[in-house]
Structure formats: structure tokens, C-alpha cells
Structure 1
Amino acid sequence: MAADGQRRVHAWLIEDREYARQEARRGRRHAFGHLDPHRTALVVVDMVPFFVTQNEYCRGVVPNIGRIADTLRRAGGTVAWVLPGADGQPAVAVEFYGPRVAEMYRRSGGTGPLRDRLWHEFEIHDGDLLVEKTAASAFFPGRSPLPDLLAARGVDTVLITGTVTNVCYESSARDASTLGYRVIMVADANAALRDRDHNAALHTIYRTFGDVRPTVDVVAMIEAS
């Protein structure tokens, strides 16, 4: 993949005391030790130029997202690209952000065909899903077609990647868990603005809503199934 500015990957961390807590609770470190690729979807959240060009951590996770996507497709799984949608944003956004910033976020997903709005380094295949969301979460009822599309494919496990870790990504992971998905947060395939923001979100997901694994573990799980 071609370089587009400096790339960085977060120094991600789950504290030993949290690993110990989960091991004492369920007898193992990780909630999900295996997955069925045919029932698994890689969900890539908001990897569009608006976010990627502004954050070297976003550029840093592009290769890992691509590696997981290629591996999962070969194994018969689903890759879903989720973009910010311009229509359907709540009116309260203007009050909360102010009109200028609200409009900036409303337009953050770009215009034109969905394929053309993704970050240019990604390879989109015909079998991939391309959807918009009009909320922070890709899984909030009524704000994205993604849950229905995944249900139609029999998906029960989601590997959530993208940006921003502690905003749209974390919101998506929480709602996916509430809907009953097996959630795996890919620690080095998500990007925030700072390590501490990123790691706080990892901690929350690992503690309550899903598992947290690096790319190498996720790829090994796919290939072992």
C-alpha cells in the first residue's frame, strides 16, 4: 500500500489486573477463543478521507484492516464498510456542536458513490457490504441497515475496526453487544487521537462488552477455523 503521510499505531494496553479479573471470572483470558468465518463480519467504521487525512493513527491501521479483510474474505466471511451518512442527522447536533461544526460532521462522509468515498488504499470487493450510518453507532436501530444485512447472512460475530476508537467505534461495539453479537475489538486496527483515549475504550469493551485482540490473533483465529 502506498504511503500517505506519517503512520503510527497506538501503544495499546489492557492492564494485567483486568486480564486477571476476567480470568478469575470465566477461567480464561479471552471470551471468544474461536470463530466461524462464514458467520463473521469485519466491520470497518468511518475510514474516510475526512478522518484518515487528519490522524496519523488512522493511516497506521490501514494495513491491518486490509490484512484482516483479505484473510476473512478468503475464508468465506463478510467485510462491511460503514460510512458517515449526511441525511438523518438529529436536529440536536446543531445545538450541541454549533452550526459550523455540525455541518462539517454532516458532510464528513463525502459525496458520490460509496466506493469512491472510502479511503483510497482499501480494496473493495463485489461481495462486500457498503452502508451508511446516521448515528455514531453502526448498530443503533433505525440508523443503519447494517444489522439487517448481517442478519441476512447469518452473522453472529463482528470484528469491529476503524475510527474514532472512543466514539463511533466504541458506540458500535456497545450496541452490537446489546444486539447479541459476539464482539471482538481489534486493538491495533482502530484509531483515536491519543493512546489514553484509545486504551480507555479498549478497557471498557474488554471489561463489559466484548473481547480485545490484536490483528495477529484475529488472523490466526480465522485461519484456524
Structure 2
Amino acid sequence: MNGPPMLHAWRIDEREYVRQERRRGRRHAYSCLAPERTALVVIDMVPFFVAESPYALGIVPNIARLATALRDAGGLIAWVLPAGTPAREEFYGERAAKLFDRSFGSGPLRERLWPAFEVHDHDTIVQKTAASAFFPGRCPLPDVLDERGIDTVLITGTVTNVCCESSARDASTLGYRVIMVADANAASRDEDHNATLRTIYRSFGDARPTTDVLDLIATS
């Protein structure tokens, strides 16, 4: 899929909002956050996934805004990259497996990110060898976050319904407060994107737009 940058027409059904309001007395699970205990987790924003995806290109400015605000407030920015783990040919097929084998790129980790991002020396850059950045033994991210006393993670990146959803689910299982940023994740279709937002909002965390998260950072 090619074309100019664009954002998903994201939505969560009103009945889901009503369900949560009836259950816990408010629409959103987390009404505040402590920036110094919060990490922006940016998943797989590398040329392989971003270059030809209008939706991935579209979320770059929102991720950059979140990174600047949270970094300035004392939070952690964690850039998560796919590692050079051979794809399973039996599952993907020979052609797709060879294609995915090139997804991790080459060179220093910092240079593998989408070039529009500004990475600071105090940011964290890690690699994962599974879809999830939080699956035990497949990424050092949980250890890094625990060392920093992080209790809240803001999930951003691509693909919404694969690596981002997997990471959000596992982060919730590990006890983190999870916020999936609705307009800072990208899938190939609105339908896939919105299905994940509903699942996370309903069972694993929260789903809020960039403007809401920026307000949480600014008012905490």
C-alpha cells in the first residue's frame, strides 16, 4: 500500500465506553500518570514497515510529539526494533520469510530507526526476537523498565494488531498500566486497527488519542 501519510479513522463503540463507565464509574482506566514512571514504547518504526505504509507514515508526527513531551517531563523513551531472527519458512512460505528476514535492517541500532525521529542519548534502544516486546526472554525491555521503576507504558508503532497488540497484552499481564495511543499506532486497515483498540480497551488497558496523553503528561 502506497500513498501520502494518513491516520486511521479510529473509533471505539459507544457501548464499550458505557460498559466501562457502568463497571468502574469512569470512561478511562487511568486518569493520571507519573511521567518519571512512564515509558513511551515505540515498536518497529523501521524503514521496512514505515516506508510504504501511509498509516505508519501518518503516525510519525504524533510519536515525535509524545517523545518530546514525555522526555521533557522526565519519562523514558524506548525504541523497540525487530532483531535479525530468521523468519519461519514453514509458516510464512519461502518468499515471505526471505522478505521478513530483511525487516531488521543493518548497521547500528540508532540508524535502523525511521530517520525522521530524533533519538536522544538517554533514550533506550532494544531489539526483540518475538512479536511482543514484553514476552519473557525475548526482549530486554521489561528489565530496563523495572530498573527505572516504570509502571505505565504508552504503546505506539506498527503493526497495531500484531506486534503492538502482542506487546500491550503481555505488558498488561506483567502488571504494567497500559495505554495504547489510538492515533499513534498503525495497521493496514481501519478494521484491523479498531478491532485491536476495542480488545485493549475492553480487557487489557486503555485506548486514548495523542492529545489526551499529552494532557495527562502536562497535568501530572
Partner of 2:105: 110
- Alignment partners' CA distance in 2, 1:77 and 1:54: 31
Partner of 1:44: 42
User: Are 1:194 and 2:165 matched, yes or no?
Assistant: no
Q: Structure 1's 30 and 52: CA in aligned 2 closer, same or farther, altered over 3 A?
A: same
Which of 15, 18, 29 aligns to 1:17? It is 15
- Alignment partners' CA distance in 1, 2:60 and 2:130: 23
Partner of 1:175: 170
Three-state SS of the structure 2 residue aligned to 1:23 is helix
Offset of residue 204 of structure 1: 0.3
- Alignment partners' CA distance in 2, 1:99 and 1:46: 22
Please report the TM-score for the alignment, with normalisation by the length of structure 1: 0.95
Equivalent residues, number: 219
Partner of 2:77: 79
Offset of residue 5 of structure 1: 6.0
- RMSD over aligned CA atoms reads 1.2
Which of 174, 178, 185 aligns to 2:180? It is 185
Cα deviation code 1:169-193 (max 9, x no counterpart): 0000000000000000000000000
Q: Does the CA contact (< 8 Å) of 2:197 and 2:207 recur in 1?
A: yes
- Alignment partners' CA distance in 1, 2:52 and 2:79: 19
Output aligned runs, 1:57-68, within 5 Å: 57-68=55-66
Offset of residue 109 of structure 1: 1.4
Cα deviation code 1:130-150 (max 9, x no counterpart): 000010000001110000011
Partner of 2:150: 155
Q: Does the CA contact (< 8 Å) of 1:85 and 1:106 recur in 2?
A: no
- Alignment partners' CA distance in 2, 1:138 and 1:99: 25
- Alignment partners' CA distance in 1, 2:170 and 2:80: 15
Q: Percent of aligned pairs with the same residue?
A: 68
Moved over 2 A (4+): none
Partner of 1:211: 206
User: Are 1:165 and 2:163 matched, yes or no?
Assistant: no
> Mind listing any 5+ residue stretches in structure 1 that lack a counterpart?
none
Three-state SS of the structure 1 residue aligned to 2:155 is strand
Cα deviation code 1:51-93 (max 9, x no counterpart): 1012100000000000000000000000000000013x57xx2
